Amino acid sequence: DAKTTQPNSMESNEEEPVHLPCNHSTISGTDYIHWYRQLPSQGPEYVIHGLTSNVNNRMASLAIAEDRKSSTLILHRATLRDAAVYYCIPGGGGADGLTFGKGTHLIIQP
Amino acid sequence: NAGVTQTPKFQVLKTGQSMTLQCAQDMNHNSMYWYRQDPGMGLRLIYYSASEGTTDKGEVPNGYNVSRLNKREFSLRLESAAPSQTSVYFCASIQTPGGLIVATNEKLFFGSGTQLSVL
């Protein structure tokens, strides 16, 4: 599995955009970049994923660097409900699922 | 739309007791997983099952056994619980082409977790 580096925590204000960075310099050419988040006292939930091109969905946008060694999850207008731990997971290289690191704890201030 | 259902939600055991955590999914997924999450930590894989009838060890399998009862159900058993097994346990499932995650384009679905305390 590719090694990932994410900030331990980030803080943002409500209704402002949030950019969550992730470095994955050892990613293989066929690995997707997955983002999941875990709200307090819940299991992780899917946010977005991509391979090479930037991706958008109703929850977020994913910006992938041209060399694929880093990516950024963008929450366009953070709400208090977006306070969670966000996991960046490059992978899918085997039958043993996805490897969840410690992620970034996102704090949203009202 | 049940998704992934785990039971029980909470459990307290004494050291040496045994118990089975149940997990069922109704999405016809072929791969299922058991993770544990300790406070302030990421999720660590205990066991997984890439298809019905197969199971494999993950990162932290010691002290656990699993059974893939059928395509829907994947149970996790603690034969002799220890305080070090106090954790939150999550079951997850995913549909993977051919039973292997090569470059999966599918989503992993998680249950709501089981909070286990071993005294």
8 Å CB contact between B41 and B48: no
pLDDT at A101: 87
A50-61 exposure pattern, b = at least 16 Cβ within 10 A, e = fewer:
beeeebeeeebb
On average, the pLDDT of chain A sits at 91
In this model, does residue B99 exceed pLDDT 90? no
User: Per mean pLDDT, which of A6-20, A92-106, B94-108 is the most reliable?
Assistant: A6-20
In this model, does residue A31 exceed pLDDT 90? no
In this model, does residue A19 exceed pLDDT 80? yes
8 Å CB contact between B78 and B66: no
CB < 8 Å from A in window 23-42 of B: 31, 33, 35, 40-42
Identify all chain A residues contacting B4, using CB atoms and an 8 Å cutoff. Answer: 43
A77–B contact, CB cutoff 8 A: no
Instruction: For residue B110, give the nearest of B29, B55, B19, B38 by alpha carbon.
Output: B29
Between A90 and A73, residue with greater pLDDT: A73
Identify all chain B residues contacting A46, using CB atoms and an 8 Å cutoff. Answer: 107-109
Strands B87-94 and B31-37: antiparallel
Q: Where are the beta strands (DSSP E) in B38-113?
A: 43-49, 56-57, 64-68, 74-78, 87-94, 109-110
Burial label for B15, CB within 10 Å (0-12, 13-18, 19+), is exposed
B7–A contact, CB cutoff 8 A: no
A98–B contact, CB cutoff 8 A: yes
8 Å CB contact between B47 and B57: yes
In this model, does residue A85 exceed pLDDT 90? yes
How do residues B12-52 score in pLDDT, each as one tens digit? 999 999 999 999 999 998 889 999 999 878 899 999 998 88
In this structure, the number of other CB atoms found within 10 A of the CB of residue A110 comes to 7
Q: How confident is the model at residue B1 (pLDDT cuts 50, 70, 90)?
A: low
pLDDT at B24: 97
Q: How confident is the model at residue B103 (pLDDT cuts 50, 70, 90)?
A: very low
Which position has the token pair 């690995």? A31
